[in-house]
Amino acid sequence: MSRANDREIVSLQYNSDKNLHARQALHRGFSTNKYGWENWVFDQYIFNPNDKVIEFGCGNGSIWAHNKNKLPKNIEIILTDLSEGMLKTSKNNLSGVNQIVNYCTMDIQNIEYENNSFDCVIANHMLYHVPNRDLAISEIARILKPEGTFYATTNSTYSLAGLKDLVRNFDSRLDYASFSVAKEFGLENGIEQLSKHFDSVEKAVYEDSLHITEAKPLADYVLSLEGHVNIHDIMTENKIKDFHEYLEEMILRDGSIDIPKCSGIFICKRPKK
């Protein structure tokens, strides 16, 4: 168990989409790769006519919302998440997308579907939050048809390392530097974990970085890590003001805050039955 997959922390963190939304806003507003993460991830999906698709940990449904006009008409999608708050938001964000036939709360470690039920399974930026990840991946291999595909996005261990340094330099008591979701399941160790349950695992990497010219979205990003990082213990109202000033001074001095980042996707085929 770690701060990335402690059930209590994860449930509080994703009670609603507030925290996820703050992080998405920073990426959307200040990423240098203008193609866009949501477009790139959607490009990796291959859907055939009549495919049955299920996503675990769908969050606020941002990739579907962004690509709703590109969805083939004749596929059926089920969106699931541990958090009722997230499902409510994704339902609002995706109203009118007729391919989505159901929204339900579900833990990826305990999937309520029969063997060989789906052509595509998706679990984006969520496997690192799962305490028994091996069970979850075996469950995905179980519900996937033998010819089906599993897609899972995640981060590199090196992604946003510059942001951790910046936070540590502001206040070394903030324990962001030692928090890592990618150490649980990241671009560097994912193949090993997935290969236990899939004969074919390929990785594709999306190159990008942040060029940040406003303090508030960056401060909101850091504050959104509440629970995973000891934000509540350190970041009093005054401290948050100081943090804004610290970031503003940097931006004024250097013109921007530039931080490399790296994320990608695993594409898994031939589930081991």
Question: Which residues lie near ligand SAM (CB under 6 A)?
Answer: 10, 14, 20, 56-59, 62, 81-83, 86, 107-109, 124-126, 129-130
Q: At what angle do helices 18-30 and 215-223 cross, to 10 degrees?
A: 140
Min dist. Cβ of residue 185 to ligand SAM (A): 12
Cα–Cα distance, 155 to 56 (Å, whole number): 17
- Distinct helix (H) and strand (E) counts, the chain: 11, 7
4, 129 contact by CB (below 8 A): yes
Is 125 or 197 the residue whose CB approaches ligand SAM more closely? 125
Least CB distance to ligand SAM at residue 20 (A): 5
At its nearest, how many Å lie between ligand SAM and the CB of residue 130? Answer: 5
Closer of 14 and 243 to ligand SAM (Cβ): 14
Shortest CB 144 distance to ligand SAM, Å: 16
Looking at beta carbons only, is 124 or 159 nearer to ligand SAM? 124
Residues with Cβ within 8 Å of 192's Cβ and at least 6 positions away in sequence, in order, are none
Q: How far is the CB of 253 from ligand SAM (least distance, A)?
A: 32
Structure tokens at 138: 């075996």
Nearer to ligand SAM, 18 or 270 (CB): 18
Find out whether 64 and 100 touch, Cβ atoms under 8 Å.
Answer: yes
Best CA proximity match to 127, nearest among 87, 186, 176: 186
Cα 239 to Cα 6, 119, 191: the distances in Å are 27, 49, 41
| Beta-bridge mates of residue 104 | 80
128 or 170: CB nearest ligand SAM: 128
Residue nearest to ligand SAM (CB): 59
Select 97 or 108, whichever has its Cβ closest to ligand SAM: 108
The three-point CA angle 150-26-153 to 5° equals 10
CB of 170 to ligand SAM, least distance (A): 24
Q: Which is nearer to ligand SAM, 14 or 47 (CB)?
A: 14
Q: How many Å apart are CA 123 and CA 185, to the nearest integer?
A: 12
Shortest distance in whole angstroms from residue 18 CB to ligand SAM: 12
**Cβ pair 229, 175 in contact under 8 A:** yes
